[in-house]
Amino acid sequence: MSGGGTTRWQQLARRGAGADYAKTYAARFRAMAERGEDIHGEAALVTALVDPPARVLDAGCGTGRIGLRLHELGYAVVGVDVDDTMLHVARAEAPEVDWREADLATFDLGQRFDLVLLAGNIVPLLEPGTLAPVAARLAAHVAPGGRVVCGFGLDAAHLPAGCPVTPLADFDDAMAAAGLEQEARFSGWDRAPFDPASGYVVAVHRPAS
């Protein structure tokens, strides 16, 4: 999520859940967990790629579901999001984690991470025209030999209502222009082989050698 003022994400979230969208978002995943559903697929993929105490940047961290889980597993986590309403929930639920308010198109933490994670449809929710600068900022924050992992929907069925589709080719071009080369591509966080018909992609990139 990026951009000043009211972001694309905030507009869609408020349209669907009202002013308390952040609490509603967090409560939805809490209810899923209480029903016994697995809500930690993203964290499971991270554990398959790097071992704790690796440094992980949760870019577009929202209410902190993934960052908190990774923190519990022993990773050194920094969460970044432009939405202070979402961060308020994250800080209340996990004050021990380093949550920061910043725009993904311009942020500079002055440090690099073993893994940079973008989950929760961050890519299609970016502000118009910011995909390339966001990719460049991600590349600037990944350590040599590290990875950037992005998961997002490729069709309307896998995106919030009203969210436009980001063509996979546009994403690929932006990552390549930022100096990131593809290492792997899956159809979900369970690392199922990629099938464009699945409507979802999880892409793993490394800094180009």
Summarised one tens digit per residue, pLDDT across range 14-47 is 776 676 788 887 888 788 878 888 788 999 999 9
Predicted pLDDT of residue 2: 39
pLDDT of residue 9: 77
For residue 192, give the amino acid letter.
Answer: A
Classify residue 199 as left (phi > 0), alpha (psi -120 to 50) or beta. left
Phi-psi region of 162 (alpha: psi -120 to 50; beta: other; left: phi over 0): left
Mean pLDDT of 57-64: 96
Buried b (16+ CB within 10 A) or exposed e, 154-174: beeebbbeebeebebeebeeb
pLDDT for 8 equals 85
**Residue 4: what pLDDT?**
43
Report d(CA 186, CA 183) in Å as an integer.
11
Say which range, 5-9, 113-117, 174-178, has the weakest mean pLDDT: 5-9
User: Per-residue pLDDT averaged across 107-132, rounded?
Assistant: 96
CATH tag, 8-207: 3.40.50.150
Percentage above 90 pLDDT, the chain: 78
Q: In angstroms, rounded to a whole number, what is the distance separating the alpha carbons of residues 124 and 126? A: 6
pLDDT computed for residue 3 by the predictor: 38
pLDDT at residue number 78 = 98
pLDDT of residue 5: 54
> For residue 45, how far is the Cα from the chain centroid?
13
Cα 41 to Cα 63: distance, rounded to the nearest angstrom: 16
